[in-house]
Amino acid sequence: MATAATIAEREHYLNKEYGIRSWLLTTDHKRIALLYLVSITFFFFIGGFFALLIRLELLTPAGDLVQADTYNKLFTMHGMVMIFFFLIPSIPAVLGNFLVPMMIGAKDLAFPRINLLSWYLYIISGIMMLHCIVTGGVDTGWTFYTPFSTAFANTKVIEAGLSIFVAGFSSILTGLNFVVTIHRMRAPGMTWSRLPLFIWAHYATSIIQLLGTPVLAVTLVLVVCERLLGLGIFDPNRGGDPLLFQHLFWFYSHPAVYIMILPSMGVVAEIVPCFSRKRIFGYHAVALSSIAIAVFGFLVWAHHMFVAGISLYSAMIFSILSYLVAVPSAIKVFNWTATMYKGSITFSTPMLYAFGFIGLFTMGGLTGLFLACLGIDVHVTDTYFVVAHFHYIMVGGAVMGYLGGMHFWWPKISGRLYPEWLGKFAALIVFLGFNLTFFPQFILGYLGMPRRYWQYPPEFQVLNVMSTAGSTILAVGYVLPMVYFLWSMRYGKIADENPWGAAGLEWKTASPPPTFNFEETPEVTWEAYNYDQIPAPAEVLVEQ
Amino acid sequence: MSNSPIAVEQHGPELRHHFSTVEQQRDSASLGMWLFLATEIMFFGGMFCAYLIYRLNYYNEFAAGSRSLNLKWGTINTIVLICSSLTVALSVRAAQMGKRKLVVILLILTLIFGLAFLGIKGIEWYDKYKEHHIPGASFNVDDLVREYPQIHIDQSHEQIYFSLYFAMTGLHALHMIIGVGIFSYLLFHAWKGRYTTTYYTPVEIGGLYWHFVDIVWIYLFPLLYLIDRKPLG
Amino acid sequence: MFDNFPLWPARASTGAGHVDALYVFLVLLASFMSLAIFTMVVVFALKYRRRRGHEAEQIEGSIALEVTWSVVPLAVFMAIFVWGAVIYFQERTPPQGATEVYVVAKQWMWKLEHPEGQREINELHVPVGRDIKLIMTSQDVIHSFYIPAFRIKQDVLPGRYTTQWFRATKPGVYHLFCAEYCGTQHSGMIGQVIVMDPAQYEAWLSGGATSGSLASNGQTIFEQLGCSTCHRFDTQGRGPNLTGVFGKSVQLEDGRTVVADENYIRESILSPSAKVVSGFKPIMPVFQGLVSEEQLNALVAYVKSLNAPATGAAGTPSLSPVGLKPQKLKE
Amino acid sequence: MSEHVLSSKLYYAIWIVLMVLTVVTAWVATIDLGPFNTVVALLIASSKALLVILFFMHVKYTSEKLTKMVIVSSIFWLLILLFLSLSDYGTRHLGHG
């Protein structure tokens, strides 16, 4: 067993330089990943705090904990912070940043300085958002629907809009960096069909970031101009059409859901083969389904608008297209499950998160079929059914994948192991807390409780109490990993190069990796997920 | 696509540490710029979408607004931008051949054309300001109603045309200003002789950006100025 | 079971049963699929758990399986699409002869007006067994008119009409919610739909004092605003004769044709030059900002009433010269 | 990326064509072609854009398929935005709002 002393002797990306400057001016993708990790964790807990206040308010039918305006600001800022400052950057900017160059055998991303710039843009927009929050907040809902946001809300719409505009550019630059890196920086022998599925998922994600985000940006510019100058582009009193805003907004914001979920799918596609000791089932199907999701994801946006006043015919087109995007998602679930068949499965913490992801994403995806279905959508849209559905995808799916990935690659990032039993315990708590929080909301939705309600009829109370109870359990489940990750940085067992016996180039370099990732440029001569050639670690075997 | 770059050690001063070869670095920069331009297409695309919808709905007002623009200045500006694109293309060529002086001259010409474009745009905007055609409190189109009695003009729909006109040309002008900044940077480094026959990537990708901005204008010109120039019957 | 713990919403309209049937089907399908996947995950995880003397078997994948689990779900999805689309189409197609109730939404209340002239706020009384068509618009932001017990919802937009319809089947009091976030008191923008037996409903209808039916109010406004000067009931007017116009195709001056629905009439009052009828000049003044939403509704109801010969407010309108410049009416 | 240097004559030729097309599009707009005015204007604009992309931006001379793919897919995405939006706006007047 290596001691703490030996790890300090070897130079790696963490101990190469010290001091604030060495972090704030770094162009090392691994250090930038850690900068992102710290910043998104901060925003995750801010957004989570808002969520807890929302759940506490909804404990009773009356609006008694906070004022109506405060409540409206809480759910607005919960949405904005969680979506733009946690979920969208979460896996790409932290794990993607850390792993994309390593997985393809590169020394860094193609544009290290642009990578740093994108973190600074994120921080600038984050500071704008924080400033907006502490100086009064915004109450339009994260969706900025016009004409409420342009002509009626008297909160800080402009500042919030500009903040998200800047965050959008951060996201675009990250995506651009990934696409160029994946095209240009692959090590010799790393052909497209040898790429890890994590890379495929990030490639698909980046396409969405590149082609979707600018539409949101320009839409927000128009909203800001309209609010400042009263142009009338989205104002029906001046001949504008508020539905045009919704079209442009959802053109980005529906695919944005795939920005959040695709990277998680990539993580799961790494974890499941590793802890099944098997090559992934249907490599090409899983890889291409990522691309299919990215493309089809752009064809379905108006399923958010079935009752908004779009034409009947348009609604039918968007409904049928929405079902198309469900197919590649289903393909992925089937393939992950099939990967376990005849495997040799260990129940490590990352694998538990992967199980959780498969279960919750399946439920989130299947309830998506309800919402794509015109006849049902009319009743359940804008109710808690939708709230439950997208939390199953974004929290049950995306956050589960993020946590699974963090546990899986934590030994690589920090060079330390976290306490396995605590990891499993936290995974269990998250799973239980999540279901208790959000499952009752499906029922609430079908009963007809509209979303964004500060007070509600008393017959909805029991289900709301269950949901609030679940949210406190969920909160514990989220704090735990942060605590033991921090603890493990000093006291955790030293991790060797490849503690899970995982395939992939990132496991062929030291933990933590040296600054340029590899001592010498690797040459790839094997297929991805070659688990028949990698011995499983003995330690894990004993545990079973 | 699948030919992975092979590591060949061939360090020049401009090769950054994480690239293996100069080609890899240049191809990366070029792909990065193309992807950025794809992003830009969607950025303008949101406005084109708004334009399309409202032009279909409020054709009369779009026609009248388009007539009120100065066709002479619009055409001259199009020509100015096309000339600037030529000088940019020639400057990339000169950089490829390592003709430092020619590069400098062509970049200066480009900047002059770029600034001329912005100047003319400024004149047009100022005219619109004088005519009270800038959306906002003082917006007024009574002059258009008088001038084109054959066209039914609704003031608020006319304001949507001018909102889109200013948003689109404003965004384009912003890109021109950024372009002028980029080309000043290129000029400075070309002057210093940083670009050689083996390293002229910045000129090349700066040129791509400039041409893109030109292309946007190539579409904006007919879409904004030429909606309806037929003799009124 | 418990009053405060229902698991299924009341079902009180003809459409609700169709939605519930599809919903139950989808719940069963989703449960089956989830269970199938959960079972597979659990069974594989236990059966193939790692133990001594057991090695993973490397399997590449199977094209046949990939095709199967793409095509079969797609086929099921298409079936769901068709089922859902049929329901949606019915929801969006009001039957002929439905009673038309006008809805005006504003922050944060619902104002409703029956054709007989009854006005209500945050309450809607309807009889069992009659088709009701809601013609809705908003004075400010987007709202959404949602009655869970009828499984219907439609956003209510400023600047245009949206419609939806239902036929109530069960007397009772049901929730009316605003389902589109509309500002501070969004959750207070709620009301009740009171479904009554027809006899009770008639009693309720005759109970309240009204100032005439919606259409006759519209006729009054029509004359007050001087509309009748040009829109005469012969071919001599400077504006089109409005008799029988509603629901017909109208040939426009620029060659397009439009259907004269509620939104067209509305637009033609507020912004007349947008779609001028072929053969007429764009001389009509703009009424944007001069008539309230309620007056607009009355005007639309009046124009529609000109279709039915029985209620048609026939007779030559007054020819007395009225200034073309519209006056703002007192509320 | 193209390594080879194009003849400057080619650039001048393209430039002249672009100038001519600019004058033509401004002139043809003053002739009443009915609905075809818009079609002609967009066709001319697209030809000009194509010339700039192919020659000034060297896309014709690059061996790289990827550049072409980026261009085609971004235009494709723009068309998705425009056409699917039109699927709503183009069918609203058919009723059934």
Based on the domain organization, do C125 and C187 belong to the same domain? yes
Tokens 């607009």 locate to C296
Put simply, whether C282 touches B (Cβ < 8 Å) is yes
Average predicted confidence (pLDDT) for chain A? 93
Cα torsion through C232, C237, C238, C239, rounded to 10: 40
Nearest to C251 by CA among C279, C281, C232: C279
Residue C315 lies in a domain: no
Best residue in D88, D92, D93, D94 for a mutation probing chain C (most C CBs within 10 Å): D93
Q: Which chains touch B (3 or more CB pairs under 8 A)?
A: A, C, D
Task: Please report the ipTM that was assigned to this predicted complex.
Answer: 0.91
Which of C181, C210, C239 is the C-terminal boundary of a domain?
Answer: C210
Based on the domain organization, do C116 and C187 belong to the same domain? yes
Strands (E), chain C: 99-106, 109-113, 119-121, 123-127, 131-138, 143-147, 152-156, 162-167, 172-178, 191-196, 249-251, 257-259
What pLDDT, in 10s, does the model give residues D15-62? Answer: 999 999 999 999 999 998 888 999 999 999 999 999 999 999 999 887
Burial class of residue A412 (count of CB atoms within 10 Å of its CB; 0-12, 13-18, 19+): buried
**Full set of structural domains in chain B with CATH:** 53-225 (1.20.120.80)
Specify the CATH number for the domain of residue C23.
Answer: 2.60.40.420
Cβ–Cβ below 8 Å for D37 and B226: yes
- The residue of chain D with its CA nearest to that of A249 is D81
From chain B, pick out residues whose CB is under 8 angstroms from the CB of D89. Answer: 53, 56-57
Based on the domain organization, do C26 and C104 belong to the same domain? yes
Distance to chain A for B202, nearest Cα, Å: 14
- The residue of chain D with its CA nearest to that of C165 is D96
Specify the CATH number for the domain of residue A264.
Answer: 1.20.210.10
Based on the domain organization, do C151 and C193 belong to the same domain? yes
For residue A138, the SS3 value is coil
From chain A, pick out residues whose CB is under 8 angstroms from the CB of B65. Answer: none
DSSP B175: H
Cα torsion through A246, A250, A253, A258, rounded to 10: 160
Best residue in C160, C273, C284, C287 for a mutation probing chain B (most B CBs within 10 Å): C273
Residue C58 lies in a domain: no
Give the one of A72, A342, A452 whose C-beta lies nearest to C48's C-beta.
Answer: A342
Give the one of D37, D77, D86 whose C-beta lies nearest to B42's C-beta.
Answer: D77
Which of C210, C238, C272 is the C-terminal boundary of a domain?
Answer: C210
- The residue of chain D with its CA nearest to that of A315 is D88
Put simply, whether D82 touches A (Cβ < 8 Å) is no
- pLDDT at residue D97 in the model: 43
Based on the domain organization, do C204 and C266 belong to the same domain? no
Number of separate domains in chain C:
2
From chain A, pick out residues whose CB is under 8 angstroms from the CB of C6. Answer: 447, 459
Distance CA A76, CA A142 (A): 5
Give the one of C93, C161, C258 whose C-beta lies nearest to D96's C-beta.
Answer: C93
Based on the domain organization, do C187 and C298 belong to the same domain? no
From chain B, pick out residues whose CB is under 8 angstroms from the CB of C274. Answer: 58, 152, 154, 157
Domain with C139 in it: 1-50+94-210
Distance CA C90, CA B70 (A): 52
Burial class of residue A62 (count of CB atoms within 10 Å of its CB; 0-12, 13-18, 19+): exposed
Query: What is the separation, in whole angstroms, between the first and last Cα of chain C?
Result: 50
From chain B, pick out residues whose CB is under 8 angstroms from the CB of A185. Answer: 5, 18-19, 24, 28
From chain B, pick out residues whose CB is under 8 angstroms from the CB of A176. Answer: 32, 35-36, 39
Give the one of A358, A456, A459 whose C-beta lies nearest to C187's C-beta.
Answer: A456
pTM score: 0.92
Based on the domain organization, do C199 and C241 belong to the same domain? no
Residue C186 lies in a domain: yes
Best residue in C33, C103, C186 for a mutation probing chain A (most A CBs within 10 Å): C186
Tens digits of pLDDT across chain A (544 residues): 444 445 456 889 998 888 999 999 999 999 999 999 999 999 999 999 999 999 999 999 998 999 999 999 999 999 999 999 999 999 999 999 999 999 999 999 999 999 999 999 999 999 999 999 999 999 999 999 999 999 999 999 999 999 999 999 999 999 999 999 999 999 999 999 999 999 999 999 999 999 999 999 999 999 999 999 888 899 988 889 999 999 999 999 999 999 999 999 999 999 999 999 999 999 999 999 999 999 999 999 999 999 999 999 999 999 999 999 999 999 999 999 999 999 999 999 999 999 999 999 999 999 999 999 999 999 999 999 999 999 999 999 999 999 999 999 999 999 999 999 999 999 999 999 999 999 999 999 999 999 999 999 999 999 999 999 999 999 999 999 999 999 999 999 999 999 999 999 999 999 899 999 998 889 999 999 999 888 888 765 444 3
Specify the CATH number for the domain of residue C222.
Answer: 1.10.760.10
- pLDDT at residue C43 in the model: 95
Put simply, whether C187 touches B (Cβ < 8 Å) is no
DSSP string, C4-46: T--SS----BHHHHHHHHHHHHHHHHHHHHHHHHHHHHHHHHH
Based on the domain organization, do C130 and C254 belong to the same domain? no
What pLDDT, in 10s, does the model give residues A445-466? Answer: 999 999 999 999 999 999 999 9
Distance to chain C for B124, nearest Cα, Å: 28
Based on the domain organization, do C154 and C278 belong to the same domain? no
Put simply, whether D97 touches C (Cβ < 8 Å) is yes
Based on the domain organization, do C10 and C155 belong to the same domain? yes
Cβ–Cβ below 8 Å for D92 and A311: yes
Cβ–Cβ below 8 Å for D96 and C162: no
From chain D, pick out residues whose CB is under 8 angstroms from the CB of A243. Answer: 88
Instruction: Tokens for A250, please give them.
Output: 């959802």
Burial class of residue C40 (count of CB atoms within 10 Å of its CB; 0-12, 13-18, 19+): middle
